[in-house]
Amino acid sequence: MNVVSATDRLIAALDVPEAADAQTLVERIGDAVSFYKIGMELCMAPGFFDLLDWLRTQDKQVFVDLKFFDIPETVGRAVARLSKCGAQFCTVHGNQSIMMAAAQAKSNGMKVLAVTALTSLDRGDLDDLGFKCDVESLVLSRARRALAAGCDGVVSSGLEVERLRAEAPSELIVVTPGIRPVENTNEDQKRVMTPARALAAGADYLVVGRPIRDAADPRAAALAIQAEIASALPVAA
């Protein structure tokens, strides 16, 4: 079982267009969040790696969510380079050889997480992509393959976490996006869950984007989610 402090379980997604916007948001949130995700949008902006370095100087943990998907050698080299930058997590897509290359290239304590099924996909989307199994079976199959390839964990909707915890090894790290403090919404995230429900299902980390980013007071929004996380966790004996 993974031991994660309560405050580290919340990963705030810096889904903003510019590195300066991300830095401003982090400063507004202050000590309410210790873990941040930086992804594709920011990677297209100048200063992506400067932002990563700055987050580390602020004693923040960093999840680099670029979902690497290319030939295995290219993915391995990218992961090796990223391992030197101080990130805690990175994500990969792909088949067994891609995941194996990423796992073999990681260093400096960085964890490789395999993407299972994006939370923006529903049953109809999976049919269009040619997946005829149910979503739970797809996620579990990919989790097994990820662990066999040497990955440290997976990114999975909270809706599939309970089955993962029942059937996958306890050392599997589960990072759950699509977290909403209240039952959702008409957004592009189709498979979502509240923080308390995701933790009860067995998630280790919760990724929260818009509910913090778009709040009138992002710090207050983050603190409210941290309070929900704390109340949902079992009390230590």
Catalytic residues: 67
Burial class (CB in 10 A: 0-12, 13-18, 19+), 44: exposed
Q: What would the two tokens of residue 50 be?
A: 């400067």
CA distance 150 to 101: 9
CA distance 194 to 107: 33
Q: Which residue, chain included where needed, has tokens 């948001």?
A: 25
Question: Alpha-carbon Rg of the chain, whole angstroms?
Answer: 17
Give, in order, the Cα–Cα distances in Å from 218 to each of 25, 29, 123, 131, 213: 8, 6, 33, 38, 6
